[in-house]
């Protein structure tokens, strides 16, 4: 079959090699679940709220839901936007889509109407799946379906609210028909579309195949020592690449472990869950790890079941790295990954200083890592440069983004990660900074241009630059530096502009934390490519000891 339009397949030579090496095993996600359900039918697979499903139960539900999806007109390769909180039904829906051959588009519950509409339109999605117990989420799904003609169905999880809208179906209704075993999709097909953190105005979709993704999942599970005794607590948004596959939910289900979905990441919710379910593994972003270590130091909950605490998504400081084993009583593993592919781990038997001071090394011996200067010349080990990578589970192109792909992939297929790193002689990477126009707000990624475009839509905003400012808790926060124009109406205040951006229908974490007004932005050359220089100059104001915008 010809590849999905808009997807850049791996070059045949490399694909052949990854198969010969046994990395790609022609296994689909649906087959992974089936294999675990055959080996461990009675073990608990998923716990979420009141739901506690064994592997056999999960597998049977997935067959029923997949059958319902197909009977409702969802076909192989159709795209379906999934925006669900951390519930057991998320796992059911996503595996049902995998088995039907349809492609989940992994939105976050934080995403709002503008973002969901964009994902649905770019993916020409046929359906959206949202939490039926959240009236605002249902309204958003209806608004998306009204705006994007390809969206024919709205699927609601949870105790569904009644709706007269013929497009609305409850997940439970989908399960009504007798289940059939559907043929598994080919493993070299695109399995889903993940979201990029983005640095340009329009967030990109990342196509991952069954073959490439499951290689990273199996190896992650092995590197992290997962097995049938693993109890994995998922506190980060479930659709994000880190809790999904590093080794995450998929790694735990591959290993015969149990996945526990936490409805929110607070210690108040999670510590009792750790105690009750004897949780062994958890993945955190640095700000959460700060909150957890503080709570554990003064808390009374029994966290002694913890075996591994992973921290990633943003840089973990050496101080935090030292505090984690002391207060949470389990070793730390640093994880430096990206939805586009490459994932680095410190290893469980690494010396303390490697775990504390580095972000680890790649999963695969065939992850090719280059650290280069501005002219793409390799720099020596220990020197800082741009990280480029190519390998058995790193994409060769974003979905439907030819122009962008020409810029962020080298002619020989290396992905320009936008991260600045040092590679040490032992192969471990240290993340030093970023060349991409992104704010990493405690692991949540914000594309500067996306928010600038929203600000500039305000009638009184002439220009805006959105930059990162240091923050002791989140690592970075976003600051919008704004030039106003015109004299009509009162000038907007910082609060007005924040409300304006929120009102444009974007996730809360993208609303600028701070807004500064200036008379002019630094002069740079004309044209788009110089926006990066402008942002760098503005970011410099916040690092300088005295700020003088004049
Ligand atoms: C993970 O994935 P994304 O796609 O949300 O973000 C990727 C970017 C990286 O390019 C880097 O800029 C930053 O997030 N990042 C880190 C980091 N881990 C990710 N920066 C410094 N230190 C780290 N440990 O964030 C992600 C995907 C899979 C596993 C873990 C994280």
pLDDT interval class at 27 (50, 70, 90):
very high
Segment 244-262 mean pLDDT: 98
Closest Cα to atom 30 of ligand 1:
337
Ligand 1, residues 217, 336, 420: which to mutate, most atoms within 8 A of Cβ? 336
- Is residue 546's pLDDT more than 60? no
Task: Answer whether 359 contacts ligand 1 (Cβ < 6 A).
Answer: yes
pLDDT of residue 529: 61
Flag whether the pTM goes above 0.95: yes
Segment 158-173 mean pLDDT: 86
Ligand 1, residues 199, 315, 337: which to mutate, most atoms within 8 A of Cβ? 337
Q: Is 421 helix (H, G, I), strand (E, B) or coil?
A: strand
Task: Answer whether 132 contacts ligand 1 (Cβ < 6 A).
Answer: no
Distance 25 CA to ligand 1 centre (A): 26
Closest Cα to atom 8 of ligand 1:
338
- Is residue 539's pLDDT more than 60? yes
Task: Answer whether 445 contacts ligand 1 (Cβ < 6 A).
Answer: yes
Q: What is the full DSSP assignment across 160-175?
A: PPP---TTEEEHHHHT
The per-residue pLDDT for range 32-45, each reduced to its tens digit, is: 999 999 999 999 99
pLDDT of residue 198: 80
Q: Which long-range contacts (CB under 8 A, 24 or more apart) does 457-462 make?
A: 457/504, 458/492, 458/497, 458/500, 459/486, 459/488, 459/489, 460/484, 460/485, 460/486, 460/488, 460/489, 460/491, 460/492, 461/485, 461/492, 461/497
Distance 338 CA to ligand 1 centre (A): 5
Segment 276-285 mean pLDDT: 98
pLDDT interval class at 194 (50, 70, 90):
very high
Segment 502-523 mean pLDDT: 96
Q: How many beta carbons lie within 10 A of that of residue 172, not counting itself?
A: 17
Length of the chain: 550
Task: Answer whether 284 contacts ligand 1 (Cβ < 6 A).
Answer: no
Segment 43-51 mean pLDDT: 98
Distance 182 CA to ligand 1 centre (A): 35
Task: Answer whether 417 contacts ligand 1 (Cβ < 6 A).
Answer: yes
CB 22 within 8 A of CB 11: no
Task: Answer whether 334 contacts ligand 1 (Cβ < 6 A).
Answer: yes
284-318 CB burial, b ≥16 within 10 A, e <16:
bbbbbbbbbbebbeeeebebebbbbbbbbbbbbee
* Lowest mean pLDDT across 16-30, 172-186, 386-400: 172-186
Q: Which tokens go with 2?
A: 């010809």
Closest Cα to atom 6 of ligand 1:
338
pLDDT of residue 524: 72
pLDDT interval class at 202 (50, 70, 90):
confident
From CA 144, how far away is CA 451, in angstroms rounded? 20
pLDDT interval class at 531 (50, 70, 90):
confident
Task: Answer whether 343 contacts ligand 1 (Cβ < 6 A).
Answer: yes
CB 187 within 8 A of CB 28: yes
The per-residue pLDDT for range 442-486, each reduced to its tens digit, is: 999 999 999 999 999 999 999 999 999 999 999 999 999 999 998
Backbone angles phi, psi at 264, to 5 degrees: -150, 160
Mean per-residue pLDDT of the chain:
95
The per-residue pLDDT for range 412-430, each reduced to its tens digit, is: 999 999 999 999 999 999 9
Segment 178-199 mean pLDDT: 94
pLDDT interval class at 527 (50, 70, 90):
low
Closest Cα to atom 19 of ligand 1:
313
CB 301 within 8 A of CB 326: no
Find residue 308's DSSP bridge partners: 281
The per-residue pLDDT for range 89-99, each reduced to its tens digit, is: 999 999 999 99
Closest Cα to atom 16 of ligand 1:
314
The per-residue pLDDT for range 95-134, each reduced to its tens digit, is: 999 999 999 999 999 999 999 999 999 999 999 999 999 9
- Please give the number of the atom of ligand 1 that sits closest to the Cα of 443: 25
pLDDT of residue 201: 74
Place of tokens 């469980």: 348
Q: Which residues contact 255 (CB under 8 A, 6 or more apart)?
A: 221, 226, 227, 228, 230, 247
Distance 472 CA to ligand 1 centre (A): 19
Q: What is the full DSSP assignment across 217-281?
A: HHHHHHHTT--TT-EEEE-S-TTSHHHHHSSHHHHHHHHT-EEEE-SS--HHHHHHHHHHHT--E
The per-residue pLDDT for range 318-356, each reduced to its tens digit, is: 999 999 999 999 999 999 999 999 999 999 999 999 999
Backbone angles phi, psi at 416, to 5 degrees: -85, 105
- Is residue 159's pLDDT more than 90? no
Task: Answer whether 313 contacts ligand 1 (Cβ < 6 A).
Answer: yes
pLDDT interval class at 161 (50, 70, 90):
low
Q: Which tokens go with 126?
A: 């046929």
Ligand 1, residues 216, 287, 312, 420: which to mutate, most atoms within 8 A of Cβ? 312
pLDDT of residue 550: 47
């Amino acid at each position: 079959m010809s590849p999905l339009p808009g997807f850049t397949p791996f070059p045949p030579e490399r694909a052949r090699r990854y198969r010969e090496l046994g990395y790609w095993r022609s296994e689909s996600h649906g087959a992974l679940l089936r294999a675990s359900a055959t080996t461990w039918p009675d073990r608990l697979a998923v716990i979420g709220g009141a739901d506690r499903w064994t592997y056999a139960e999960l597998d049977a539900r997935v067959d029923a839901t997949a059958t319902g999806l197909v009977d409702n007109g969802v076909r192989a390769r159709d795209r379906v936007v999934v925006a669900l909180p951390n519930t057991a039904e998320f796992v059911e829906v996503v595996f049902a889509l995998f088995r039907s051959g349809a492609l989940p588009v992994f939105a976050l519950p934080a995403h709002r109407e503008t973002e969901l509409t964009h994902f649905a339109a770019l993916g020409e999605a046929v359906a959206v799946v949202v939490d039926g117990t959240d009236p605002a989420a249902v309204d958003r799904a209806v608004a998306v379906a009204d705006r994007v003609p390809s969206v024919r169905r709205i699927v609601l999880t949870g105790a569904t609210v009644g709706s007269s809208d013929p497009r609305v179906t409850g997940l439970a209704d989908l399960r009504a028909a007798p289940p059939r075993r559907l043929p598994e999709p080919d493993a070299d097909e695109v399995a889903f579309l993940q979201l990029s953190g983005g640095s340009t105005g329009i967030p990109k979709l990342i196509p991952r195949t069954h073959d490439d993704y499951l290689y990273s999942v199996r190896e992650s599970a092995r590197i992290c020592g997962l097995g049938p005794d693993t109890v994995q607590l998922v506190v980060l948004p479930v659709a994000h690449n880190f809790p999904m596959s590093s080794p995450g939910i998929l790694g735990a289900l591959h290993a015969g472990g149990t996945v526990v979905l936490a409805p929110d990441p607070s210690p108040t919710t999670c510590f009792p869950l750790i105690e009750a379910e004897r949780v062994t593994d958890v993945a955190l972003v640095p700000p959460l790890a700060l909150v957890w270590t503080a709570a554990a130091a003064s808390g009374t909950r029994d966290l002694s079941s913890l075996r591994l605490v992973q921290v990633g998504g943003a840089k973990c400081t050496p101080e935090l790295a030292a505090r984690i084993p002391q207060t949470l009583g389990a070793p730390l593993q640093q994880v430096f990954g990206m939805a586009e592919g490459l994932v680095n781990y410190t290893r469980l038997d690494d010396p303390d200083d490697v775990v504390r001071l580095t972000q680890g090394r790649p999963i695969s011996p065939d992850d090719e890592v280059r650290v280069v200067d501005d002219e793409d010349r390799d720099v020596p080990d220990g020197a800082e440069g741009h990280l480029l990578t190519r390998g058995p589970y790193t994409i060769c192109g974003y979905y439907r983004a030819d122009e962008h792909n020409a810029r962020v992939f080298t002619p020989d297929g290396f992905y320009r990660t936008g991260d600045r790193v040092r590679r040490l002689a032992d192969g471990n990477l240290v993340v030093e900074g970023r060349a991409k126009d992104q704010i990493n707000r405690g692991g949540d990624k914000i594309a500067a241009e996306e928010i600038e475009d929203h600000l500039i839509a305000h009638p009184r905003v002439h220009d805006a630059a959105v930059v990162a400012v240091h923050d002791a808790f989140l690592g970075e926060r976003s600051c919008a530096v704004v030039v106003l124009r015109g004299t009509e109406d009162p000038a907007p205040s910082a609060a007005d502009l924040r409300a304006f951006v929120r009102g444009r229908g974007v996730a809360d974490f993208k609303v600028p934390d701070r807004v500064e007004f200036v008379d002019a932005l630094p002069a740079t050359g004309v044209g788009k490519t110089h926006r990066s220089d402008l942002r760098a100059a503005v970011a410099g104001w916040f690092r300088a000891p005295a700020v003088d915008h004049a």
